């Protein structure tokens, strides 16, 4: 199902390179790291079944909200990315939690500062036509988890 | 939206009393507590916006999976309540986390032992016609959170 | 025990106003909020038993590490605020989790950017004489939880 | 530091086999698994740096409370394993979170039912002479994480 997750991400406007670029920006101040390292680590995070399920479930909810398939009240909250909804961040914890404390703090940081593709997706999701309420948090989770894994790996050298 | 959450729970086969009964069984060995206390506390947990959003979102996913509206692969995992899917437990953490450590340990205990309505819903959800993958964990979360709150409240007396 | 928690914070160099200033900076872009609001909300977060226990436990570990009372290896990791240690962030989750998703993302943001007293404490903790490994994360947790509570409260108006 | 963690566990009365026995009891209803598998998986969980830090930190707090080295109020809460203290469960999440949803639900289940060495340690910790407030939750975390890892591994066959 990993291929499906990657296809879904692309269909929604997100490439592995978009995420790898964020990881590189997070870690380059701390470590000697290349975009290629970041790309490989992002792919390795996306290969885990927890990540695949989260990508597929989160995008499925976004698309359902986009099409207005959910009950009116909850559809409206999700479609407008209501700030106090909160389940988008919770779902993304399925990825973040597996990757330790550095993933957790970077997750919050990315969610607030929205660099690169995160900001693009967030902005597009706030338009009428698109809903990316779950997707932007999932990208934050993948990027912060990749950053955490690189930090841990470099440590061991 | 609290009324809507209660209506949705009933439509899916769960009443406040079903949940209160589980809470009573959890706490009666530790405290002098009545079904009426448990009922009021369950209602108070369900009144919080985090709980309402979780109920509405979780049931929306269950119903979508029941109708086969999601992508084939993820629809199949959710519909059969696949044991390693894991996002049902994660989503329920939105309720559990707000209520402290006693909620957390009781949540795991209820999820494993499936007393009362939890077992009924879990079993029904494993039939072809119904999907309760998210709902049973949400009930565990509400019951364990209510138990935690009662434990904390009694302490203060 | 709330008074004890406040005394301990002050002994270690942190006042309620230091934390309230960070909360004000977090929320003033979103809401009409005063330092007085922030101060009251910080005090209300500190009044909860979970927060009190976390403050007292975290500072107790910091002081023990400062005095070299723990086993050599773990004492050394804590005393130097080793980046991959991670239990300081985990302990602070006892406060953050109770306050929802906005607390979680702000927690990560504050932990990375270290504004105000957080940076002061972090820097002092990296000197030989002092250890604030747990304390700086606890301040991040209190400030982000207060910000979350203000965000939720304003919403209800 | 893995050797030190194993030595500390033994000094406090816990062997790898004690934990492996609990894992076997958790998983034998679901899978064809041997005590040897469980032993190897427990050792692999204990080899991770997050687990090592948690074992060393948790036991350090237990021992400090045993000796009365912490501030009076918090020392008293920890020494008597006060039910609403809650930081013992939180610290153990550093291990549980890394191992997914099955670890989380088994953690709560073990913490409530206290099979085998968990009950022995819990009971001993409630005597005057000993404090195992953090240790019993750490054992629950290691056992539930090992069970989760075995469940995931078998799935892949």
At B24-36, the pLDDT tens digits run 999 998 889 999 9
d(CA D11, CA B138): 41
- Look at residue A25 and tell me if it is in a domain: yes
pLDDT digit string, tens, across residues A57-93: 999 999 999 999 998 999 999 999 999 999 999 999 9
Q: How many domains does chain B have?
A: 1
What is the average pLDDT across B55-69? 95
d(C-alpha A55, C-alpha B92), whole Å: 18
Q: What mean pLDDT is predicted for residues C108-128?
A: 96
Q: What percent of chain C has pLDDT over 70?
A: 98
The answer to whether C42 and C23 are in contact (CB under 8 A) is: yes
CB-based contact A50 D97, cutoff 8 Å? no
**Residue D112 CB burial class (10 angstroms; 0-12, 13-18, ≥19):** middle
Torsional sign, CA A77, A82, A86, A88: positive
Q: What percent of chain C has pLDDT over 90?
A: 88
Nearest to A53 among B8, B57, B85 (CB): B85
Closest CA to A151 of B94, C85, B89: C85
Q: Report the residue of chain B nearest C49, measured CA to CA.
A: B152
Question: Using CA atoms, how far apart are residues A145 and A141, in angstroms rounded to an integer?
Answer: 6
- Interhelix angle B49-66/B133-156, nearest 10 degrees: 160
Q: What is the average pLDDT across D6-27?
A: 97
The three state secondary structure string of chain B is: CHHHHHHHHHHCCCCHHHHHHHHHHHHCCCCCCCHHHHHHHHHHHHCCHHHHHHHHHHHHHHHHHHCCCCCHHHHHHHHCCCCCCCHHHHHHHHHHHHHHHHHHHHHHHHHHHCCCHHHHHHHHHCCCCCCCHHHHHHHHHHHHHHHHHHHHHHHHC
Give D83's contacts in chain B (Cβ within 8 Å): 102, 151
Asked if B136 and B125 count as a contact pair (C-beta separation under 8 A), the reply is: yes
Residue of D nearest to B97 (CA): D90
Nearest C-alpha of chain D: how many angstroms from C81? 13
Please indicate if any CB of chain C lies within 8 Å of the CB of B100: yes
Q: What's the rounded mean pLDDT across residues D72-101?
A: 95
Cα-based distances in Å from A145 to A102, A105, A139, A142, A152: 8, 10, 10, 5, 11
Q: Is A11 domain-assigned?
A: no
The answer on pLDDT for A52 being more than 60 is yes
Confidence of residue B156 (pLDDT cuts 50, 70, 90): low
Q: Residue B128's pLDDT band (boundaries 50, 70, 90)?
A: confident
Kindly state the helix (H) or strand (E) to which residue D109 belongs, with its residue range.
helix D100-113
Q: Which residues of D touch A98 (CB under 8 A)?
A: 97-100
pLDDT (0 to 100) of residue B7? 97
Question: Mapping DSSP to helix (H, G, I), strand (E, B) and coil, where does residue C33 land?
Answer: coil
Which pairs count as long-range contacts for B69-76, CB under 8 Å and 24+ apart, including other chains? B69/A64, B69/A69, B70/A60, B70/A64, B71/A4, B71/A8, B71/A56, B71/A60, B73/A1, B73/A4, B73/A56, B74/A53, B74/A56, B74/A57, B74/A60
In C, minimum Cα distance to A85 occurs at C101
Tokens (6 digits) for C80 = 């130097």
Which pLDDT value is given to residue A57? 97
The CATH number of whichever domain residue C103 belongs to comes to 1.10.3760.10
Quick one: pLDDT at residue B12? 98
Query: In whole numbers, what is the pLDDT of chain C averaged over residues?
Result: 95
Pick C86's closest partner by Cβ from D61, D85, D94.
D94
Q: Which of residues 129-148 of B touch A (CB under 8 A)?
A: none
Put simply, the answer to whether C83 touches A106 (Cβ < 8 Å) is no
Other CB atoms within a 10 A radius of the CB of residue A138 amount to: 27
The arithmetic mean of pLDDT across residues C113-128, rounded, is: 96
C-beta atoms of A101 and C86 within 8 A: yes
Q: Write down the pLDDT at residue C156.
A: 60
Residues C76, C147 contacting (CB under 8 angstroms): no
- pLDDT, one tens digit per residue, over B34-43 is 999 999 999 9
Instruction: Report CB contact under 8 Å: D112, B109.
Output: yes
Nearest 5 degrees, angle CA A55-CA A56-CA A58?
65
A133: in domain: yes
Q: What is the ipTM of this complex?
A: 0.94
D: neighbours with 3+ CB pairs under 8 Å? A, B, C
CB contact under 8 A, D100 and A98: yes
Rank B126-130, B139-143, D1-5 by mean pLDDT and report only the highest.
B139-143
- Whether D71 and C91 lie within 8 Å, measured CB to CB: no
pLDDT band at residue B50 under the 50/70/90 scheme: very high
- What's the burial of D1, exposed, middle or buried (CB within 10 Å: 0-12/13-18/19+)? middle
**pLDDT (0 to 100) of residue C80:** 93
Would the pLDDT of C157 be above 70? no
Percentage of chain D lying above the pLDDT 90 cut: 87
Q: What mean pLDDT value characterizes chain D?
A: 95
* pLDDT, tens only, A98-149: 999 999 999 999 999 999 999 999 999 998 899 999 999 999 999 999 999 9
Query: What separation in angstroms does the CA of D154 have from each of D37, D97, D157?
Result: 11, 20, 6
Phi/psi at B20 (5° precision): -60, -35
**Pairwise CA distance, residues C14 & C135, whole Å:** 9
Is pLDDT at B132 greater than 70 in this prediction? yes
Distance between CA atoms of residues A54 and A49, nearest Å: 8
Write out residues 3-62 of A within 8 Å (CB-CB) of D.
49-50
Q: What is the mean pLDDT of chain A?
A: 95
Residues of chain B neighbouring C99 (CB-CB closer than 8 A) = 98
Whole domain around residue B145: which residue ranges? 2-156
Sign of CA dihedral D84, D85, D88, D94: positive
| CB-CB contact of C142 with C39 (8 Å) | no
Provide mean pLDDT across the span A19-33.
94
Give C31's pLDDT tier (boundaries 50, 70, 90).
confident
> What is the spatial distance between Cα C138 and Cα C58, in angstroms, rounded to a whole number?
8
Give the minimum alpha-carbon distance from A99 to chain D in angstroms, rounded to a whole number.
6
Confidence category of residue A156, pLDDT binned at 50, 70, 90 = low
pLDDT of residue D156: 59
Probe site for chain D from B27, B104, B151 (most D CB atoms < 10 A): B104
pLDDT digits (tens, 9 = 90+) for B84-114: 999 999 999 999 999 999 999 999 999 999 9
Q: Are D148 and D100 in contact (CB under 8 A)?
A: yes
Lowest-pLDDT choice from A43-52, B1-10, B71-80, B147-156: B147-156
Distance to chain C for B102, nearest Cα, Å: 12
Please, where are the H alpha helices in A80-116?
87-96, 100-113
Q: Tell me how far apart the alpha carbons of residues B153 and B33 are, in angstroms, rounded to a whole number.
A: 11
Say which of B49, B97, B152 has its CB closest to residue C97: B97
């Amino acid at each position: 199902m990993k291929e499906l997750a990657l296809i879904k991400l692309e269909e929604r406007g997100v490439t592995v390179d978009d995420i790898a670029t964020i990881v590189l920006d997070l870690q380059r101040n701390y470590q000697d790291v290349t975009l290629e390292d970041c790309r490989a680590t992002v792919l390795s995070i996306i290969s885990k079944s927890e990540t695949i399920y989260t990508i597929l479930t989160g995008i499925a909810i976004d698309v359902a909200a986009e099409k207005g398939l959910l009950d009116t009240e909850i559809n409206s909250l999700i479609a407008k990315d209501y700030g106090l909804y909160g389940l988008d961040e919770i779902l993304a914890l399925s990825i973040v939690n597996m990757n330790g404390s550095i993933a957790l703090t970077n997750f919050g940081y990315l969610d607030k500062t929205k660099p690169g593709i995160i900001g693009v997706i967030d902005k597009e999701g706030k338009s009428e036509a698109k809903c990316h309420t779950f997707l932007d948090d999932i990208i934050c989770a993948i990027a912060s988890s990749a950053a955490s894994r690189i930090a841990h790996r470099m440590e061991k050298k």
